[in-house]
Structures are given as structure tokens and as C-alpha cells.
Amino acid sequence: MRKSAASIVLKVMMVWILVVYSILLFRRTLLKPVADVLGMDYKFYLGALLAGAVIALVACVGIALQKKNPLELTTAKKNYSAAGVMLSVFGVLMISLGACYDSVMELFFGEDIMTKDWYSWVGTIAITDVICLIAVLALASKIEKTPVEKHKMTFGQFISAVFMNAGVIGAGMIIGFFADQLMFSTVGTMGGQAITDMMMGSDDFWRILTVGIGAPIVEELVFRKFLIDRIHKYGEGIAIFVSGIFFGLFHGNFTQFFFATGIGLFLAFIYMRTGKIWYTILLHMVVNLATSVISMKLVSMLDLEKMYEFLEMENMMSPEAEEIMMEIMPSMLLFSGWVLFLIASVIVGWVLLIRNRRKLFLKKAPEHVEKRKLCTAFLNFGMLYFLIMAIVRFTSFYM
């Protein structure tokens, strides 16, 4: 089948962006010989990234506007590839436009704009929640889909799902913690600390708006509804697996990879059983509000300097020590109570998962791929591109 010019341009720009982005990231380390030969400065790479992103975005819109379906599919492999391209465009536009954001804003509004509290959050909304989502919508509209059969969840089932999700997250966070320690001992970088520092230094309103509300909506649409609707007819298991693994890889570091993968797998299963994306969006919001909003707020309320001062006192029964203890006690009690609640939620979640394990079954899809499922799903341009992009992001995070 003859491919459209817009789809060819899109794939060329995707490769172009990934190559330029890799050189930009590793021009002083892994790709220093290449960067030395090219002899280009930092602004050149940013300009090349921005140009590639703009052309790719135009190509996405061009694909959506064509009357004929340029992504019309005849095989499972082509369908998986088209879905992979959709996810890859979401990721590659996010990282390329994110890399250019500071320079573009400084060019038009000056350096002072970077000091505003809302600066980075508005960039996240504009790039991820608007531009990248438009690109995904454009591509998704041209990929064959099979809607998931819809079923309702009772309130009790939803609450059970909240706790089961907590159990999955707890296991993932434990694995992520050890992975973080391993990376620290190997390369001297702790992903968890970098993420915590970023969250701690942010404004509550913007963190709730973007992390607590915006991210769950966009991520569930992209990694659950748009993706699963287009590949689940080839098998529920592989659709859930791709949704979960790719969601974990999308986060770009080992600290978040394991619990994000767990969340992705669980929410993909919920979506497969209900066909209603609002259930998974609400479950995702609960997770993000609990971890990135409430937990970070309670941590920020702790007076760490006072706590260290108290611990270093020789006489912890002195009037000075008692005064410090009275100051830090309220925030410590709130934080300790919240941590105990989270631990209890994880335990309850695992009890519910074990009790309901027989309900976690998979149905055979009408167009089930019997042989070489993983090869069919992953050995194609779209999926391989996403995996390579993920490797670049993981490597850059720890370099």
C-alpha cells in the first residue's frame, strides 16, 4: 500500500528529532566525537529540534485532514506500528518542545519570565496537555479502532480498586527504591531525590492542576483509551502489557518505572473490564493527588532544621528541647499519620488482590494473534522507535 507524503515526512522528522536530541544530550559525553565533527553550538541543536517538532506537528495535522486513510491497516503488525507511532509522537514532541521551551520564551519575553511561579507549569500544560495531545488525536483519528465493551463499576468496586491500586504502587515503589540505590552506587545519581526536589520546589496550585488533574486525564487518554482501543482486538494480555510497560518507560527513570508500570497494568485491566476511561482517570487522580500533592505538602510542612536541632541536643528533656518538640509535633503527627494510612492502604490492597485473584482473568479477543505475539507487537517501526526513545531518556537521566 502506498504511504502518504505526510506519514513519510512524520517518520523522517521523528528520526531527525531523536538523532538531534541525542547529540544535544550527549554531545559532551557519549557523542562528543560526533559533536566535535559537526562543530555546531547549543542554539543550532535547539533550532533543529524546534524545526523538526513543528514539521512533525504539521505532518500529524496533514494526516488527520486527508480524506483517504493513510494509516489504513490490513495486519496486526501495521496496527501495532501505527499505535507505536502515535505514542512515540506524543513522547518525542514532549521532549523536543520541552528542550526548546526556555529559549523560545526568553527570546519573546526576556529572562525575567523564567522567575515566575507559573512558568514551568504553563509550559507543561501548553506542550503536553495541548500540543502533544492534539498530535495524538490527529493520528488516533486515522487508526482503526475497536471500542472496549462498556460495564459499570459499583461504588464498592471502585473503592476496592483504589486500595488494590495502592497495593500495586507499594510493591513498585519498594522495587524502585532498590533500583534507585543501585543506580546511585553505579553512576552516583538518585532519581528519587531529583524528582522530590522538583516537586518540593513547586507551587501547590500548579502542582494540583498539572500533576493532580491534567496529567491523569492526558495520560489515561493516550496510554489507555487511544492505545487499547486500537490493539486489544489482537489479545487482551498483550494490550494490557504494552499499555503498562510503555507507560512505565514513558517516565524515563527507574525510580518511577516500576510503580508506573504497575499502575499502567492495573488501570489497563480496569479499562478492559469497564470500557470507561473516567474510571481510570479518577483512579489515576487519586494516586497523583496522594503521592505528588498531599505527601509533598506534608513533607514541606516538616521543619527539618528544627528536627535536626532537636536530635543533636544532649539533653532532650531540657526546656529548650521541649519547646522545639512542641513546635514540630503537629506536623510530625500529621505526616506520621499519613504514612501509616498509606502503609495500611498498601496492605489492604494486597489482601484484596489476593482475595480477588480469580477475577483477574483475560478474555480471548476475536482477532487473537496465536503465534509470535511479542514479535508482532514490537518488531515494527512505531514500537521500536518508542523503545529507543525510552533508552535515550533513561540514559540521559543518569548521565
Query: For 72-124, how does the pLDDT look when each residue is reduced to its tens digit (9 = 90+)?
Result: 556 888 889 999 999 999 999 999 999 999 989 988 888 888 888 788 888 99
Q: Which of 277, 244, 274 is nearest to 260 (CA)?
A: 244
Please list, in sequence order, all residues whose beta carbon lies within 8 angstroms of the beta carbon of residue 139, skipping any fewer than 6 positions away: 60, 63, 64, 71, 82, 85, 86, 89
pLDDT of 296 higher than 90: no
Q: Which of 365, 392, 100, 59 is nearest to 236 (CA)?
A: 365
- Can you spell out the DSSP letters for 259-315? HHHHHHHHHHHHHHHH--HHHHHHHHHHHHIIIIIIHHHHHHHS-HHHHHHHHT-S-
pLDDT of 319 higher than 50: yes
Task: Give the per-residue pLDDT at 1.
Answer: 37
DSSP summary character for residue 28: T
Query: For 16-46, how does the pLDDT look when each residue is reduced to its tens digit (9 = 90+)?
Result: 999 999 888 877 666 666 666 666 677 888 8
pTM value is: 0.89
Q: Which of 186-190, 341-345, 358-362 has the lowest mean pLDDT?
A: 186-190
Mean pLDDT of 285-304: 85
N-term to C-term CA, the chain: 42
d(CA 384, CA 209): 33
Task: Give the per-residue pLDDT at 396.
Answer: 84
Task: Give the per-residue pLDDT at 29.
Answer: 65
Model confidence band, residue 194 (pLDDT cutoffs 50, 70, 90): low
The answer to whether the beta carbons of residues 307 and 327 sit under 8 Å apart is no
Map grid coordinates 532537636 to a residue: 310
DSSP summary character for residue 126: I
In terms of C-beta density within 10 A (0-12 exposed, 13-18 middle, 19 or more buried), how is residue 371 classed? exposed
Torsion angles phi and psi, residue 237, rounded to 5: -60, -50
Torsion angles phi and psi, residue 328, rounded to 5: -95, -10
d(CA 195, CA 193): 5
Q: Which of 196-210, 336-350, 379-393 has the lowest mean pLDDT?
A: 196-210
Model confidence band, residue 361 (pLDDT cutoffs 50, 70, 90): confident
